[in-house]
Amino acid sequence: MMPRYLTQPEAKGLGMTSQRARDRMIERLRGEGGIADERVLTAMRTVPRHLFIDEALASRAYEDTALPIGNGQTISQPWVVARMTEALVEHGMPGRVLEVGTGSGYQASVLATLGLETYSVERIEELLRIARRRFRHQGLNVRTRHDDGRAGWPEYAPFDGIIVTAGAAAMEQALLDQLAEGGTLVAPIGGPSGQRLLRLRRIGGELVQEDLGAVVFVPLLPGTL
């Protein structure tokens, strides 16, 4: 007789949430995605993305697409997470990093899995509560705060890395002020005509800006919910 678990309907989606599905995602990121940083690829092979989205969508967890996570928000597309993380660590592993926009908690988990001391701020309490449970479940130490992340997290500044996962029309001065010397900030910036992924590095007291290409993010909004 077939083992009972194989006859259960939930077993059907199993293949899509397996390590094999994750390995295939990594090969796509490396291949068509052009992601070369093995540290980033290894971290993304480790974090089970299907545990960061609703069960009803879990079978699509390893497609290269953004997915809804409730409250009108989305978990970023794997390639975008990979690209932003790669851009953040390219010129040296930061020690302490700040993420603005915890969302599902996936990006923060990738950062923590890379061994970074991770701080993450989210404005929607309900999302943060679920993300915190995921961090605990994964045994990851991510420090979180329910607040408007446009103000950064001054108590723990300066940060060697800052990653903003929601789009603003312009760079927030408070975040720039909390970026350490030698630090890197990655953020989607742009108006209705389109967002660009920008990387700013503070080098010798100067800010050096690079444009890493077009991206699509949900908006960075004021206040808390």
Binding site for ligand SAH (CB under 6 A): 73-76, 100-101, 103-104, 106-107, 121-124, 127, 148-150, 165-166, 218, 220-221
Strand partners, 3: none
Least distance to ligand SAH from the beta carbon of 101, Å? Answer: 3
Least distance to ligand SAH from the beta carbon of 98, Å? Answer: 11
Q: Return the axis-axis angle of helices 38-46 and 106-113, rounded to nearest 10°.
A: 120
Listed residue (118, 120, 117, 135) closest to 47, CA to CA: 135
Catalytic residue, candidates 18, 59, 76, 109: 76
Of 14 and 171, nearer to ligand SAH (C-beta) is 171
DSSP 8-state assignment for residue 220:
P
DSSP 8-state assignment for residue 21:
H
Range list of β-strands (E), 78-178: 96-100, 117-122, 142-146, 159-164
Least distance to ligand SAH from the beta carbon of 1, Å? Answer: 41
Of 126 and 210, nearer to ligand SAH (C-beta) is 126
Residue 120 annotated among the catalytic residues of the structure: no
Q: Which residue is nearest to ligand SAH (CB)?
A: 103
Of 12 and 136, nearer to ligand SAH (C-beta) is 136
* Amino acid code (one letter) for 5: Y
CA distance linking residue 75 with residue 216, whole number of Å: 12
Give catalytic residues, as residue numbers. 76
